[in-house]
Amino acid sequence: MAVTKLLNLLAVSSLAILACSYGATPVSALSIDNHHLARSPAHGHAALAKKRRASSKRCKPRPTSSLSSSAGTTTTPPATPPAPPKTTPPASSSSTKAAPAPTSSAGSGGGGGNSGSNSGSGKAGLGWPQDDDTALINFKTNQVTAYDLFSSIPVLIYNWSPWISTKAKSLGYNAIPMMWGEKQAADFKRLVVRGYAETVLGFNEPNQSGQSDMTPQRAAQLWQEYIQPLKPQGYSLITPACTNAPSGKTWQQEFMAACKGCSFDGLAIHWYGTKAQDFIDYITDMHNTFGLPIWVTEYACQSFDGRTPQCTKDQVFSFMSQTKNFMDNTPWVARYFWFGAMYDMGNVNSLNQLLGPGGKPTALGNAYIY
């Protein structure tokens, strides 16, 4: 009997030791694991997104020295990160003008530069979620810039979080913090202070389940508490970025109506589809509706409706060429960010990838930055 009890005790102890050996492997805070895996078709997208989220594995970040506060000191990422940015159902574009949105104080520069008079260069930026800053030098060109008023032509870059990379800043990139959602509120308030940056991006797809997912009224409360106070500190404020599903436009209208005393220097938009003219029609309608400079902070040649075939390589290049040409030569388009400059494209057509092996631009990446 004594031997049996001893063997049982040893078995339990062994299992406990084994369990402790298989904890989650931490990753860097800028490395957004399984980025955008929540994308789904416009019809039935909630159920599909839920299924994808249930099957995806996410790791908690570890502190990293590559993250810096405005004072230049190392900052510590949150112990529990917000849900990674996301993505979105595509939406049918509309060329029908809607009723004017509520009045807001829109800045003509769309982010502090001279985008209102930009003749066609320097509008392309980078959404950069991975913690591979060594590759950033390969994407810095005269086409991928932030503000033309800067002689060094810094690149406009963001990573779907309040943290900005000291490596990116050292290379002359103009990093933009984002308040991705409510879970980032405390860190956003702590990090984004006077002098930390020049522009901030609002919530990521608040009209989308699985993303920041909040009512326009709650978003207005958060904006007034955390983002609007940055305006007197010299920041340009860019609206939340909704998907191009029909709910996106309605959400923005309700948000602006609820956000009393709020100011917006640009309207952020996400768009996914396969036809360049649909994209052009959509951003034109959104500009006409809200009267703000347009920031396309995510877009690609990508089908999510389950019916339309994915873009071929030639179609992706053609789509990029047509949309870039339109935006580069349209004064009210302030900035645009192709998806995606990343190694793992998730469930987005890999033919849209800008970042190739070894941190070098793909052929499409070269087309984007040159």
| In the chain, where the domains are located | 27-369
Q: Are 268 and 299 in contact (CB under 8 A)?
A: no
Ramachandran class of 111: left when φ > 0, alpha when ψ lies in -120 to 50, beta otherwise: left
CA distance 317 to 20: 49
Confidence of residue 183 (pLDDT cuts 50, 70, 90): very high
pLDDT: which is higher, 284 or 67: 284
CA distance 140 to 128: 13
CA distance 56 to 279: 30
Q: Are 354 and 338 in contact (CB under 8 A)?
A: yes
Mean pLDDT of 12-23: 40
Residue 151: burial class (beta carbons within 10 Å; 0-12, 13-18, 19+): exposed
Mean pLDDT of 259-268: 97
Closest CA to 259 of 217, 230, 206, 202: 217
| Other beta carbons within 10 Å of 75 | 20
Length of the chain: 370
Closest CA to 264 of 121, 102, 124: 102
Mean pLDDT of the chain: 73
Q: Model's pTM, two decimal places? A: 0.70
Confidence of residue 266 (pLDDT cuts 50, 70, 90): very high
Q: What is the structure's pLDDT at 197?
A: 95
Q: Are 67 and 166 in contact (CB under 8 A)?
A: yes
Question: What is the CATH number assigned to the segment(s) 27-369?
Answer: 3.20.20
Q: What is the structure's pLDDT at 144?
A: 56
Mean pLDDT of 219-239: 98
Coil, helix or strand at residue 352: helix
Rounded to the nearest angstrom, the gap between the alpha carbon of residue 193 and the centroid of all alpha carbons in its chain is: 20
At residue 37, does pLDDT exceed 50? Answer: no
Q: What is the structure's pLDDT at 369?
A: 85
Q: How many CA atoms lie within 13 A of 237 on its CB side?
A: 21
Closest CA to 131 of 342, 275, 353, 364: 342
CA distance 125 to 297: 8
Report the greatest alpha carbon distance in the chain: 88
At residue 215, does pLDDT exceed 50? Answer: yes
Helix axes 313-328, 276-290, angle to 10 degrees: 30
Q: Which residues, 6+ apart, have CB-to-CB distance to 32 below 8 Å?
A: 84, 85, 129, 130, 159, 160
Beta strands in 88-207 (DSSP E): 105-106, 124-127, 156-158, 164-165, 174-175, 199-201
At residue 107, does pLDDT exceed 70? Answer: no
Least confident of 93-107, 246-260, 267-281: 93-107
Mean pLDDT of 20-24: 36
At residue 273, does pLDDT exceed 50? Answer: yes
The pair of three-digit structure tokens given for residue 96, joined into one six-digit string: 């029908």
CA distance 202 to 181: 8
pLDDT: which is higher, 59 or 291: 291
* Identity of the amino acid at 52: R
End-to-end CA distance of the chain: 78
